[in-house]
Structure 1
């Protein structure tokens, strides 16, 4: 191998909450829609993370997609997020957002920042409103690298 690792095309993954954006979307939604206490209770539960994800999704029932995206837009991008992603894309890298948040948000940031793919939970939406149901890719198994195997196919 010659040259720096940045000169070789790679898959580069970013988290959304606290990495690309300066806060966690679910915290902002909890503040805006008044379920902060319930969210804290769920996060303190001694159950697997995928179970917490299901419980948290139920808190979002009735929120519209436009309300979720408006809340997302109120969170500033992290310092350097735009310039770093632009430079990586200019070098030909394949950029992925991996998040335990929601595709509504990750797909929005994908378009805004020029990412290639996102992996996140998908909220079920009917007539523009979140139903409280969630679909989780690979059920977020305990093997963090499972999503890579999924995309290699």
Structure 2
């Protein structure tokens, strides 16, 4: 292969060989460095969210579904989580927004979601620090609505 720097100026002009200015090369290098740094910062934020949550277990009762999940967060952060309960046809039967006050860095909250019918599918749609997470809105069939939340099971009368 021929080193283009060894060609005469006439040959370089004839075959369209142009010298790259040092300033252009530095500019391109800086643009690449900024892009790599921005990509790394974005990847770090996505891999380390301020609140991590995971659905652990749920149990279905005729009037409600009891849900337990875990959260990992900064101890001083108030966390808002959204839970959806759906039936076998994936129609919403319960939807709750739960606020967890500041406390331990790791917690396993439980919540009873009042439902219109027995639930079959439970989703922890998301959790966010200090605000309602950006999650899908409830999708109840036409003519139905979310049962009142929060709800606590009634104690049986003796």
Higher helix share: 1
Q: TM-score, normalised by structure 1?
A: 0.23
**Greater RCO structure (CA 8 Å; 6+ sep):** 1
Structure of greater Rg: 2
Q: TM-score, normalised by structure 2?
A: 0.22
Higher strand share: 2
